[in-house]
């Protein structure tokens, strides 16, 4: 029997098909172009180290004399030398560079964007750049070899200051503070969130943050709220949800800026009713208070002039160096002739003075001797660091290595 012919027409392309394909292709090209245009790698140049740098053994004896070995530009906002994994990190414009203790340039990273903050930690150099989302484009680079380690990009304030500890790195702005772990995954954000996924996740979004510091599991923040009240707040650095801060203490204060932090305590400078350093424990109780001379603070978020010594936290007021106990943060010693923060070496405190570097007993406050340093007429703030066999001074916008 004869089978009927198949009367169906073969598949044919119509004008509508071509239009659809064209629209999809255009959207795909726009997407690819947007990713390319906004990718961190675009407009950047990383020149890694020729070979991984091996950190030198640190200096163990206090030198009797010092002379300049080398110097480099460093116009970062950091008040002290940025040191990690035995290398020194600097910022020159939008370019990050690292040097060995002997002054050898190890690697560099250059962007065509504004550098907002430079941090060091986790054996990495972390640079924060300003893009179309504020200072939220972040890159971490291995300190010893200059290889990419991690990146992140998120909405952030247009002006930020770095926050660092041995356990976290982050940024501080008047609207928000956030912390990241070593792979730059955010562990906590606190403050105003531009596009919250759910309502009421942030407890105080209308307050303006004035300072923040972190150590181990503790993040402390001071902020001023619309009713002109000021608070010191304690929270964990690793809440269950990074978008939902877990605040353990809300301490109302007259005003204040954080000047030191421990694992379970924080110290603030208050100007009212009289200038003083007030220390609070994890329960929000005052555990120390001492009157000090008035200190001026910037209205913009800034990194505090603090340094973590072996057995003390330290804070430079602009006129004197104050040592605080590591746990309760009570004031232990005050050095009136300091030019900035110091470093610990062989059981002593070394701190910069107009004559050079003073060697002091941090238990008694007695200055044992001074190592002369010729700063060629420089009279500004100086902060001290130690890397390898050299002492390193941050003098304004320069790093100077002394050996």
User: Is 44-193+201-402 a CATH 3.40.47.10 domain?
Assistant: no
Ordered per-residue pLDDT tens for the chain, 403 residues = 444 444 444 445 555 554 454 545 444 444 434 433 445 456 899 999 999 999 999 999 999 999 999 999 999 999 999 999 999 999 999 999 999 999 999 999 999 999 999 999 999 999 999 999 899 999 999 999 999 999 999 999 999 999 999 899 999 999 999 999 999 999 999 999 876 767 889 999 999 999 999 999 999 999 999 999 999 999 999 999 999 999 999 999 988 999 999 999 999 999 989 999 999 999 999 999 999 999 999 887 788 899 999 889 999 999 999 999 999 999 999 999 999 999 999 999 999 999 999 999 999 999 999 999 999 999 999 999 999 999 999 999 999 999 9
Residue boundaries of the structural domains of the chain: 44-193+201-402
- Contact 209/177 with Cβ under 8 angstroms? yes
Report in angstroms the alpha-carbon separations of 355 from 334, 350, 360, 370, 395: 18, 13, 14, 7, 14
Alpha-carbon distance values, 309 to 40, 344, 384 (Å): 36, 6, 11
Q: What is the pTM for the complete model shown?
A: 0.88
């Amino acid at each position: 029997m004869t089978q009927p012919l198949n009367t169906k027409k073969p598949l044919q392309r119509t004008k509508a098909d071509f239009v659809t394909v064209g629209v999809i292709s255009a959207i795909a090209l726009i997407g690819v172009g947007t990713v390319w245009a906004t990718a961190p790698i675009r407009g950047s140049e990383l020149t890694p180290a020729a070979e991984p740098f091996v950190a030198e053994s640190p200096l163990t004896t206090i030198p009797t004399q010092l002379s300049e070995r080398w110097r480099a530009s460093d116009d970062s906002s950091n008040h002290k030398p940025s040191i990690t994994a035995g290398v020194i990190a600097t910022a020159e414009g939008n370019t990050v560079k690292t040097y060995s203790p002997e002054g050898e340039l190890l690697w560099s990273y250059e962007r065509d964007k504004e550098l907002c903050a430079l941090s060091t930690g986790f054996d990495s150099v972390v640079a924060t750049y300003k893009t179309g989302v504020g200072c939220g484009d972040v890159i971490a680079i291995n300190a010893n070899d200059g290889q990419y380690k991690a990146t992140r990009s998120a909405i952030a304030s247009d002006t930020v200051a770095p926050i660092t500890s041995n356990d976290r790195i982050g940024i501080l702005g008047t609207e928000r503070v956030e912390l990241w772990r070593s792979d730059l995954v955010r562990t906590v954000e606190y403050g105003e969130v531009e596009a919250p996924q759910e309502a009421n996740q942030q407890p105080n979004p209308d307050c303006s943050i004035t300072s923040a510091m972190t150590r181990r599991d503790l993040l402390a923040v001071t902020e001023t709220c619309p009713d002109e009240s000021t608070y010191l707040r304690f929270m964990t650095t690793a809440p269950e949800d990074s978008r939902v801060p877990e605040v353990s203490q809300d301490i109302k204060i007259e005003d204040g800026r954080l000047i030191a932090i421990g694992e379970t305590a924080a110290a603030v400078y208050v100007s009212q009713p009289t200038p003083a350093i007030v220390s609070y424990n994890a329960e929000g109780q005052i555990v120390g208070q001492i009157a000090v001379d008035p200190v001026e603070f910037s209205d913009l978020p800034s990194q505090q002039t603090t340094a973590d010594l072996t057995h003390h936290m330290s804070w430079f007021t602009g006129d004197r160096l104050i040592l605080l106990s590591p746990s309760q943060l009570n004031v232990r010693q005050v050095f009136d002739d300091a030019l900035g923060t110091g470093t610990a070496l062989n059981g002593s405190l070394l701190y910069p003075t107009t004559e050079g570097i003073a060697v002091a007993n941090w238990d008694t406050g007695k200055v044992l001797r001074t190592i002369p340093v010729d700063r060629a007429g420089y009279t500004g703030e100086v902060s001290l660091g130690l890397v390898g066999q050299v002492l390193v001074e941050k003098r304004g916008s320069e790093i100077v290595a002394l050996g």
